[in-house]
Amino acid sequence: MIRVEGLHKSFGSEEILKGISTTFEQGKTNLIIGSSGSGKTVFLKCLLGLFTPEKGKIFFQDKAIQDMNDDEKRDLREDIGMVFQGSALFDSMTVEENVMFPLRMFSNKKKDELLDRVNTVLARVNLENVNKKFPSEISGGMQKRVAIARAIVNNPKYLFCDEPNSGLDPRTSILIDNLIQEITREFNITTVINSHDMNSVMEIGEKICFLQFGNLVWQGSNNEIFKTDNKDVTNFVYSSNLFKKIREVQLKENAPR
Amino acid sequence: MNPKKYLADIGSYFIMLRGVFSRPTKASVLRDLILKEVDELVINSLGIVGFISFFVGGVVAIQTALNISNPLIPAYLVGFATRQSIILEFSPTFMAIIMAGKVGSAITSSIGSMRVTEQIDALEVMGINSLNYLVFPKIIALMFFPLVIGISMFIGIVGGWVAGVYGGFSTSDAFIQGLQSDFTPFHVTYAFIKTFVFSFILATVPSWQGYFMKGGALEVGKANTNSFVWTSVLIILMNYLITQMLLS
């Protein structure tokens, strides 16, 4: 579980996050949504420790990251897996080397054992026969799956994904979303996904935090988001024509006869 | 010109150096990285270094010969001037500036691309000291750069001999006599001391430009240009300071 209390982050005079408080639950897919510039990526990077917030605390289980010493922070990092928006695979390494990388850095196991683990994880994300290929030789969807495999290879307690289905076709997006949800449940991970894709919200949004101009203006589940009266949320959710039509149908069905 | 920005830049360079020498990467991984960098930065530079050294050595010999019209000046001066030019300046200093273009650009663009594509963030999220992982192996690899400069000195002098003798500007005996006359071994030591300092600049300045760049592909190009300018300026400045300290 991750708990955030009163998180503030500024760049120069511009305040990006304005006191965010929320909880991300274990074994659930937690989504941070909001339009571009709402502070989603900054929030995620604060959770990851890539940005240092000016105020507020982030608790991993019951310990605030701000109160951890260097060793505790290092241990925490070994429990974190991250899927970046552009996959961030090391392009000088093969798929196998990419997935093996965190294992090589943090374990003293023999190469055969490392290879076994790599093959198990690659099979889990439905990737076969790509071990010796370089990231530039595989498709965007495959790269995302390799990134997921690399993120879970060390059995992390926390999985962070920054727009995991950006640049993917709708079918592959759903596959990636479902894969993340399956892994979250299977390994009982606390997963936090940064997204602006409403399909993801519908598919896997067990807990949703809606950000606008650096404020957390709404939180709830994927069932609740379609019923809320919060204007900012409805404007965001129904900004696409497809969801507008769905809304119209829903309203018609619910209208008194 | 903004003095505050320059001070901030110098500060960030030293902050980077502190990061490079702290929290070392796992030894077995570091060893592989160092070997890879030696191959990419040092071994792969031998071809271009040999080519340039040979022909510049030849040009120095020809120009020296063509500028000696006074019969009172001994013929062995061609070999002497070639040796001194190559050992004192051309091989250590100008080869370092040429390498700032080749090796420096490669370092800046590879680290800059990793920054743009979030690969450096990925290292940090995994709990790896990205500065130590990326920059330290390059510093160690470029400590082999004096070896390249030694080869450059040898090939440059051979180039001078070939051009001087086969171009009809000097006899082989006179050229070799020139190479041996008034030889000061400390000049070679001085050249290698310079080379060690330049190696450190060659590894760290382009890494610093790549690591702290912001933006996209366009900025990688700009960082490359800045890297070359800063590296060259620092090499020229350090060349002056070391020469003043060691030879005057």
Encode pLDDT of A103-133 as tens digits: 998 888 888 999 999 999 998 888 888 999 9
Q: How many CB atoms lie within 10 A of CB A203?
A: 18
The answer to whether A105 contacts B128, with C-beta atoms less than 8 Å apart, is yes
Confidence check: pLDDT of A239 > 80:
no
Chains A, B: CB contacts under 8 A, how many? 50
CB-based burial label for A159 (10 Å; 0-12, 13-18, 19+): buried
Taking contacts as CB-CB distances below 8 angstroms, the residues of chain A near B28 are 104
The answer to whether B119 contacts A104, with C-beta atoms less than 8 Å apart, is no
pLDDT (average), residues B231-243: 96
Share of chain B above pLDDT 90, in %: 84
pLDDT (average), residues B129-141: 96
Q: How far apart are the first and last CA of chain A?
A: 46
pTM for the structure as a whole? 0.86
Tens of pLDDT along A50-102?
Answer: 888 999 999 998 888 888 888 888 888 888 999 998 889 999 999 999 999 99
pLDDT (average), residues A168-186: 85
CA-based max dimension of chain B: 72
Pair of tokens at residue A231: 């204007």
The answer to whether A86 contacts B117, with C-beta atoms less than 8 Å apart, is yes
pLDDT (average), residues B180-203: 95
pLDDT (0 to 100) of residue B17: 95
Taking contacts as CB-CB distances below 8 angstroms, the residues of chain A near B114 are 90
The answer to whether A90 contacts B126, with C-beta atoms less than 8 Å apart, is no
Average pLDDT, chain B: 93
User: For the complex shown, is ipTM > 0.90?
Assistant: no
Taking contacts as CB-CB distances below 8 angstroms, the residues of chain A near B122 are 82, 84, 88, 90
**Residues paired with A190 in a beta bridge:** A158
- From the list A191, A184, A230, A182, the residue with the least C-alpha distance to A210 is A230
The whole-angstrom distance between B206's CA and the closest CA on chain A is 19
pLDDT (0 to 100) of residue B1: 64
Nearest residue in chain A measured CA to CA from B30? A105
Nearest residue in chain A measured CA to CA from B25? A105
Distance CA A148, CA B209 (A): 31
Residues 6+ apart with CB under 8 A from B239: B92, B93, B194, B198
In this complex, the residue of B28, B29, B121 whose CB is nearest that of residue A88 is: B121
The whole-angstrom distance between A245's CA and the closest CA on chain B is 37
The answer to whether B122 contacts A85, with C-beta atoms less than 8 Å apart, is no
pLDDT (0 to 100) of residue A174: 86
pLDDT (0 to 100) of residue A124: 86
CA A121-A124-A127 angle, to 5 degrees, is 85
Confidence check: pLDDT of A249 > 80:
no
Pair of tokens at residue A59: 């608790």
Range A2-226 has CATH code 3.40.190.10: no
Average pLDDT, chain A: 87
Where in chain B are the domains?
27-247
Tens of pLDDT along B14-39?
Answer: 999 999 999 889 999 999 999 999 99
pLDDT (0 to 100) of residue A195: 86
pLDDT (average), residues B211-236: 93
Nearest residue in chain B measured CA to CA from A86? B117
Distance CA A109, CA A198 (A): 42
Structure confidence at residue B4 as a pLDDT band (50, 70, 90)? confident
Tens of pLDDT along A6-65?
Answer: 999 999 889 999 999 999 999 999 999 988 888 998 999 899 888 889 999 999 988 888
- Mutation choice for A interface testing from B118, B133, B134 by most A CBs within 10 A: B118
pLDDT (0 to 100) of residue B114: 94
CA-based max dimension of chain A: 71
Q: How many CB atoms lie within 10 A of CB A108?
A: 9
Taking contacts as CB-CB distances below 8 angstroms, the residues of chain A near B25 are 105
pLDDT (average), residues A181-189: 89
The whole-angstrom distance between B184's CA and the closest CA on chain A is 46
pLDDT (0 to 100) of residue A257: 63
